[in-house]
A and B are shown apart, each in its own frame.
Chain A
């Protein structure tokens, strides 16, 4: 069992997300994260899905995804040279005093930005791969994380290669 990052190019139509997500759960796959948005073609969207499974299970689910009429292409980015990013917004308890300064220092090290300052909280925005966000989350936990929002991973191949339809 390992984590696989799938890039799924789909028609930008109503119901496509539920077709794709429904198929994954129907076939027994737990989606670890899912990010969807428009892409370079106005009529298409790109979904990045992270799932856990052994290679043959993931191969099977890729084939099943490819069978969906609204799915144009599925690529497994796992093990390929790619850039993977996630964005997180983290609301941390930060009473005036020492903890506030420490949190800001940690943010600095992680190249996270403080995007909201309240009397009792700070909101940090951080982008990076999953490991970096996990590490930051772990460090901030001692101050009290009030709320945490993650976008789910998005990924893109390095170099000139792209995940595109055959045509």
Chain B
């Protein structure tokens, strides 16, 4: 006989789980007791939200399924933001929650919450296990669902008696999975692919719009090869950064609300737009009617529900991005001629480069550029949400996929620092930097305890402007500079870090930037850099909400 908890741990090991981020509590005591003797490493976070984000960071950096564990009630509820973050960005995590014993379900028992009900809209699937002999099968299915098709979070709710119940030891963890309601399509329809290739051969101004799906499918190499063979320029979404090297001649950087001018101009003028692993999100398209108004649209995505969801697609190809691109490369007979188009784009690039006022002040863009220069494509950059995220997206030169970890869809402040912890466990040899704002960092600052405790060498770069900067920027531009509740009093992050036993440096001037970054990089353990930046620096270019994406503001400042 074995307990449900024992079967759970064995099933997790069978899935190759090496690390769990979690926080113990009453209803998961039996699971923790089994975990204590197992080979699985458990990282004790300081708030359950951080466990979910760490599992998410682990998954994004590695491509494997991240795992978090929390107790029932408040523990489970604290995972919710992290699960929603993973859901919006299609990240494979499995969240394990304790639950009150099955006999007490629905009775408003102590620390009971209906977490399967709560997470129904933000999980790909979830389970409430009511029989210990189901544990093995459920874990197997959960990992399979999380990592296949369009990836996403899966939650397993485990009542306490399920963990303690004894089950016959032979109760197998099944080898095969049979889910008749879940059969993702991986291979694109060949006739559709040929149609797309015909359009590519004819197009004069084609453009690839690549997103997170390229990275999830590990299709970056195929994407670059495809772009090179067809000589089609590539613009990426926030989630797609790194799928083509930032310094690749065909790369136009990010498009959309804070996209580069040349990327947004290219979208507006292209005659063929090839969306690859993207979802035509409103932060990308701006006013949807004026997005790629002259283009035939090809859309490659594994999720049929994304086809024509926001923008009517002419040639849909449902399938795994990597697989579809491989087929396209095999079947391609001739590419179009794009020299004129590339010349036009080169002129835009030359006339409208990204720029900021590079004076003696300590400006965030400079810090990001210095970090980019220091790491030269090595290392993994995580960000929080807001100005820090956009400056990093614009000014950091990402060279490889899975080196840029950020909350795109949900835009979760407080994501970066805990996610960076997960990134470290997924890729322990890579330096990991979390680019933060003073607002976001304070949303999960308690994780200084976790990084200190485990000597997790995450380097936090706080772009400290004593504002909730992105909201302040909107107030400056659209609310007559009325800074309603966006100013934050100064915080001495070096002192806070010190209290947790983490080293830090405060930097007030531009000439201290490089040295400070190097010190952080060379430090063995975690490190906090408190950069006191220009307080009212803005993120530009910017497309105001509801405008067409070629109508950018802030593009002509010196």
B271 contacts partner chain A, Cβ-Cβ < 8 Å: no
A146 contacts partner chain B, Cβ-Cβ < 8 Å: no
A59: chain B residues within 8 A (beta carbon): 308
Interface stretch (choices B177-185, B280-288, B432-440, B518-526):
B177-185
B125 contacts partner chain A, Cβ-Cβ < 8 Å: yes
Give A167 Cβ to nearest chain B Cβ, in Å: 6
What residue of chain B has the Cβ atom nearest to residue A56's Cβ?
B308
A132 contacts partner chain B, Cβ-Cβ < 8 Å: no
Interface stretch (choices A46-54, A68-76, A100-108, A119-127):
A68-76
Contact indicator per residue, chain B 115-157, by CB within 8 Å of chain A (1) or not (0): 0110011001100101000000000000001000000000000
What residue of chain B has the Cβ atom nearest to residue A43's Cβ?
B180
A60 contacts partner chain B, Cβ-Cβ < 8 Å: yes
Question: Are A70 and B305 touching (Cβ within 8 A)?
Answer: no
What residue of chain A has the Cβ atom nearest to residue B181's Cβ?
A72
Which residues does A use to contact B, with CB under 8 Å?
A: 10-11, 14-15, 18-19, 22-23, 26, 56, 59-60, 63-64, 66-72, 165-167
Cα separation A56 to B128 with both chains bound (whole Å)? 34
Which residues does B use to contact A, with CB under 8 Å?
A: 116-117, 120-121, 124-125, 128, 130, 145, 179-183, 303-305, 307-309
Give B151 Cβ to nearest chain A Cβ, in Å: 13
A15: chain B residues within 8 A (beta carbon): 116, 128
- Supposing A60-B305, A64-B305 touch, asked if A70 and B120 sit within 8 A by C-beta, the answer is no
Cα separation A66 to B180 with both chains bound (whole Å)? 11
Question: Are B180 and A165 touching (Cβ within 8 A)?
Answer: yes
Chain A to chain B contacts (Cβ below 8 Å), 13 pairs: A10-B181, A15-B128, A19-B120, A60-B308, A63-B304, A63-B305, A64-B305, A66-B304, A66-B305, A68-B181, A165-B181, A166-B180, A166-B183
**Contact among B121, B145, B183 with A26 in the assembled complex (CB-CB below 8 Å):** B121
A68: chain B residues within 8 A (beta carbon): 125, 181
Give A155 Cβ to nearest chain B Cβ, in Å: 21
Question: Are A70 and B121 touching (Cβ within 8 A)?
Answer: no
A60: chain B residues within 8 A (beta carbon): 305, 308-309
B309: chain A residues within 8 A (beta carbon): 60
Cα separation A63 to B125 with both chains bound (whole Å)? 16
Question: Are A69 and B305 touching (Cβ within 8 A)?
Answer: no
B117: chain A residues within 8 A (beta carbon): 18
B124: chain A residues within 8 A (beta carbon): 69
A23: chain B residues within 8 A (beta carbon): 121
**Contact among A10, A18, A67, A165 with B303 in the assembled complex (CB-CB below 8 Å):** A67
- Supposing A15-B116, A69-B182, A72-B181 touch, asked if A22 and B305 sit within 8 A by C-beta, the answer is no
What residue of chain A has the Cβ atom nearest to residue B124's Cβ?
A69
B128: chain A residues within 8 A (beta carbon): 14-15
Question: Are A69 and B121 touching (Cβ within 8 A)?
Answer: no
Most chain-B CB neighbours within 10 Å: which of A22, A60, A71?
A60
B179: chain A residues within 8 A (beta carbon): 69
- Shortest 9 CB-CB contacts between residues of A and residues of B: A63-B305, A69-B125, A72-B181, A69-B182, A71-B181, A63-B304, A64-B305, A69-B181, A165-B180
Question: Are B121 and A67 touching (Cβ within 8 A)?
Answer: no
A10: chain B residues within 8 A (beta carbon): 181
**Contact among A11, A14, A63 with B181 in the assembled complex (CB-CB below 8 Å):** A11
**Contacts A69-B179, A166-B183 given; 11 further ones with Cβ under 8 A?**
A10-B181, A11-B181, A14-B130, A22-B121, A26-B121, A56-B308, A60-B308, A63-B305, A63-B307, A66-B304, A67-B303
Question: Are B180 and A72 touching (Cβ within 8 A)?
Answer: yes
Question: Are A22 and B181 touching (Cβ within 8 A)?
Answer: no
Cα separation A62 to B180 with both chains bound (whole Å)? 17
Most chain-B CB neighbours within 10 Å: which of A26, A63, A71, A165?
A63
